[in-house]
Amino acid sequence: MHIRRAIPTDRDVLLDIWLRSVQATHTFVSEEDIQSFIPLVQDYLASSEPEFWILCSDSGAIMGFMGMAGSKIDALFLAPEFHHQGGGRRLVEHAKALRGELTVDVNEQNHMACRFYEACEFVVEGRSELDETGRPYPLLHMRLVAPNSATGWVETPEEESGGSFMDTASNKELVRRFYEEVVNTGNTDRIADFISPDLIETDGITRVHSGIQGMIDHIRGVRKTYPDLTVTIERQIAEGDWVVSIITARGTHLGEWLGIATTGGQLV
């Protein structure tokens, strides 16, 4: 399994997954109400505001998806044929790596979903009698508290000596935004918001690119070769001011790269 960002052509598949999943798991919802939700879900999937993540099988088949608004999991649905295979937990772990502390609203009558989030260490912090549309489907408001969230800071020797680090969740968010807002879009005008002027990038042995201009040249060169390049963060590990991101990069080889002529093949 792997996780990637959604693209517009995924929408019909995601709508089908949502519908089949709801029909299989939300047996307390009338079919009339389910049908009335479809236009709302179509609008939601077409919106540019949520952040959609797609869970795919090793063969590339879409197994399910997750929608996020900031640190809130707005939606998490798996196709019924992929239930009980660890996909839901994989998506939650991905959300934790991106945001740290998470919230989610769960239908109280969806006992399987409630048990799932409890198993993921979410706790109930509130309840609403009606759902977002005003229908009598009670919601449980649940929260997953990230480690060290009580203070928001990681204790380090530097702090004891008077220095300080950003909290690890903010550091991971900064790295995530760099990939999403610069690398995946090619918007090099934003690089100065993320990169230090004294940056030195290496390939592990020698210096490759230095400073803001070096990174601009690097990203432009990569996206010239792979114009549809998309980088997905699979997992992040943070300590102090260090962030390690495990990523998957995908793109189509449409330009020369390191002496290799265009192949039209897919990079993964």
Each residue of 210-259: pLDDT tens digit? 678 888 888 888 899 999 999 888 888 887 778 888 888 898 999 887 77
Q: How far is CA 62 from its chain centroid? A: 15
Strands 207-210 and 230-239: unpaired
Rounded Cα–Cα distance for residues 129 and 134 (Å): 9
The answer regarding whether domain 157-267 maps to CATH 3.10.450.50 reads yes
Q: Strand, helix or coil at 37? A: helix
Residue 32 is encoded by which pair of tokens? Answer: 């009339």
Q: Strand, helix or coil at 266? A: strand
Task: Output phi, psi for 225, to 5 deg.
Answer: -80, -40
In the chain, % of residues over pLDDT 70: 88
In the chain, % of residues over pLDDT 90: 15
Residue 155 is encoded by which pair of tokens? Answer: 């204790």
pTM of full prediction above 0.75: no
pLDDT category at 27 given cuts 50, 70, 90 is confident
Determine the topology of domain 2-144 in CATH.
Answer: Aminopeptidase (3.40.630)
Amino acid at 94: H
Q: How many CB atoms lie within 10 A of CB 157?
A: 8
Contact 120, 135 (CB under 8 A): no
- What's the mean pLDDT when you consider all of the chain? 82
Rounded Cα–Cα distance for residues 15 and 13 (Å): 5
Rounded Cα–Cα distance for residues 243 and 236 (Å): 7
pLDDT digits (tens, 9 = 90+) for 180-210: 888 888 888 888 778 777 777 765 544 566 6
Domain range summary for the chain, segments of one domain joined by +? 2-144, 157-267
Between CA 184 and CA 146, with CA 88 as vertex, the angle to 5 degrees is 75
